[in-house]
Amino acid sequence: MPNPKRRHSKARRGKRRAHDFLQPVTPGLCPQCLEPKQPHRACPKCGYYRGRPVMEAEEEI
């Protein structure tokens, strides 16, 4: 079995292992409508972020 001719750098090793330590994002609750939402994002249901409307709310069918 062939062996590596040169040593792999720490950066190259770290890039390969970067995805091994990702954790799933824990959703928070929107203070406006109390729906679950991602942290540091506008609420997709009501369109509010930090108490201000920043985008159009999702239409309910």
Per-residue pLDDT of 2-60, as tens digits, reads 898 999 999 999 999 988 888 888 999 999 999 999 999 999 999 999 999 998 876 65
Q: What is the pLDDT of residue 38?
A: 94
The reported pTM is: 0.57
Strands (E), the chain: 28-29, 36-37, 48-49, 52-53
Spell out the domain ranges in the chain.
Answer: 26-61
CA–CA dist 60, 28 (Å, integer)? 21
State how far the alpha carbon of 55 is from the alpha carbons of 4, 23, 35, 41, 51, in Å: 53, 28, 16, 11, 12
